Amino acid sequence: MEKTELIARCKKNDLAAQKLLFLKYKDLIYMTSLKYCNNKAEAEDNVHDVFIVIFETIHKYKNKGSFEGWIKRIAIHKAVDKFREKKTTDLPYQIESDTGEITIDKEHIDIPIDEIFKAIQELPERYRLVFNLYQLDDYSHKEIANMLSISEGTSKSNFHRAKQILKEKILAFSSTKILN
């Protein structure tokens, strides 16, 4: 079934179409959710919640722009909403200044993508959210600040701190790999 027909049938609350839509996009939503949730169980819960929102609001999708982009935004916003509900304070400390660039000599680093993903997942929750929103999903610091109810400067400093932590993890991984 073509995507536009599938969406049209979902707008009419066709359960078979909704099941097909779920099967077609559940992995995309899960992978998106994993970037923003603390663990696989939270990501699975987010997938469930996202599909409820999709089916409740699919009539608002006007077939303009990417459907995949539309559902990914829902997944991101749903995960961020859960973060805001928790009002987490898991940050070891915050840096409000010194947001200069952090660089790693990429020619001497060979890290499997799953190790990079693991390092990102291990970041403190807010750092991970800010890093993913800014670096992976192209939100501005102003947009992130609004989403997370923080200042733009805090968003920038959280991003900077996330990069520092990732740099340390990458360098530690590289050193371990060289020693082995």
Give 42-86 pLDDT, tens digit per residue: 999 999 999 999 999 999 998 888 999 999 999 999 999 988 887
Contacts of 119 (CB under 8 A, 6+ apart): 165, 166, 169, 170, 173
Q: Residues spanned by CATH 1.10.1740.10 within the chain?
A: 3-86
Question: Cα–Cα distances in Å, from 157 out to 16, 34, 35, 83, 127?
Answer: 47, 23, 19, 18, 9
Q: Are 18 and 10 in contact (CB under 8 A)?
A: yes
Mean per-residue pLDDT for 115-130? 91
CATH code 1.10.1740.10 for 3-86: yes
pTM equals 0.75
**CATH topology assigned to domain 106-179:** Arc Repressor Mutant, subunit A (1.10.10)
Domain with CATH 1.10.10.10 in the chain: 106-179
Q: Is the pLDDT of residue 99 over 50?
A: no
